Structure 1
Amino acid sequence: MTEHPLSQFTYCPKCGSPRFGIHNGKSKQCPDCGFVYYFNPSSATVAFIVNERHELLVCRRAKDPAKGTLDLPGGFVDMYETAEQGVAREVLEETGMTVTQAQYLFSLPNLYLYSGFTVHTLDMFFRCQVKDTLHFQAMDDAADTFFVPFEKLQPEEFGLASIREGLKKFLKEFV
């Protein structure tokens, strides 16, 4: 059996009891105060941005995990933000591009190692229209940003599993 996702949490976040234990496959419960914590995936977004020449915008990761590999713009959705707002914010932060429309396509579950902790995510993929595909720059988590023709895209060059699978699905079903 694999380690429970909440195994790193040993104390009840409500009362501080050290008896915070496994309740079922996705939750822990405190026998002292009765608090039950359900472990649910974090929301994340991914953007497919296509220019007039039928090329896809890709980024090179500036940070771990998978530093130096290819990626697509995107990231975690902030609290009080819709997925559409989250993907637009992430695209702006990573490329300087302004999203004018975000069309939801599909989602994939993912495991993302962050600060030595495995974060379970639900990655939501969007086809994004941007105000201008000619002016962009690598910023934030992106070391480089550039367009690649569809026929030259190699999913194995993308470092994150859900991005590789999402790219394959996009190329097969939406291009």
Structure 2
Amino acid sequence: MTPKLFESFQHCPMCGSANLCQGALQRKCGDCGHAMFNNPIAAVAVWIFDAENRVLLIERGREPAKGKLAPPGGFLDAGESLEVAAKREIEEEVGLKIKDLQFVCSHPNDYLYGGKTCSTCDVFFTAQLAEPAGNGVAQEGEVTAMSWRALADISRDDLAFESMRVSLDKLRGLRLLCRKK
């Protein structure tokens, strides 16, 4: 089993003491009293729709889940809102501009990084292309391929993470509700 990042901390980041009291959600330094919490890292992903109502999927170029499909996205930078991070990540990862960003859902995820499992909160949006359909430009090393697909043609098993499968299910349900109105 891969160790959790939070559980791997052996010293207090404030005073360097190894006297840490361990708990599932918190570690507290027995010497200086500093408390560290097991808070998730925020990530965003966007189901981008084109004029033909297809969504953009990338093929992941790195582990974890290298070669699996995903809506483009990534991690928030300090000082960013979810919306700003979503737009930045889309421009960086696939070279596209988006508009009409709408929240779909959020879901917890475990993300393997540097041999440790990090807890994340993955936040999913939908958006429209801001410009006429373009192919975009895949970020070298991060994305090995890009394709536009109908929601009905996306296999849950091809998606990189369970959070993405949950989001796809939610998105499909929302689209069905919109058609019934």
Confirm or deny a common fold (TM above 0.5).
Answer: yes
**1:1-175 equivalent positions in 2, closer than 5 A:** 6-22=6-22, 24-132=23-131, 133-140=133-140, 141-175=142-176
Please list every run of 5 or more consecutive structure 1 residues that lacks an aligned counterpart in the other structure: none
* Aligned-residue RMSD, C-alpha: 1.7
Report the CA distance shift for 1:87/1:4 in structure 2 as closer, same or farther (over 3 A).
closer
TM-aligned CA deviation for residue 150 of structure 1: 2.1
TM-aligned CA deviation for residue 130 of structure 1: 2.4
Contact 2:4 2:118 in 1 (8 A): no
- After superposing on structure 2, the runs of 4+ consecutive aligned residues of structure 1 that deviate more than 6 Å are none
For 2:56, what is the secondary structure of its paired residue?
strand
TM-aligned CA deviation for residue 3 of structure 1: 7.0
Deviations 1:99-145 (A, max 9, x none): 23321121111111111111111111111122123231221411111
Deviations 1:44-91 (A, max 9, x none): 101011111121110000000011111110110110000000011111
Count of equivalent residues:
173
Corresponding letter in the other structure for 1:136: G
Q: Distance in 2 between matches of 1:67 and 1:105?
A: 25
2:179 — aligned with what? none
Q: Distance in 1 between matches of 2:149 and 2:4?
A: 40
TM-aligned CA deviation for residue 153 of structure 1: 1.1
TM-score by length of 1: 0.92
Corresponding letter in the other structure for 1:19: N
Corresponding letter in the other structure for 1:165: V
TM-aligned CA deviation for residue 151 of structure 1: 2.2
For 2:124, what is the secondary structure of its paired residue?
strand
User: What is the percentage of aligned positions where both structures have the same residue?
Assistant: 31
Q: Which has the higher helix share?
A: 2
Please list every run of 5 or more consecutive structure 2 residues that lacks an aligned counterpart in the other structure: 177-181
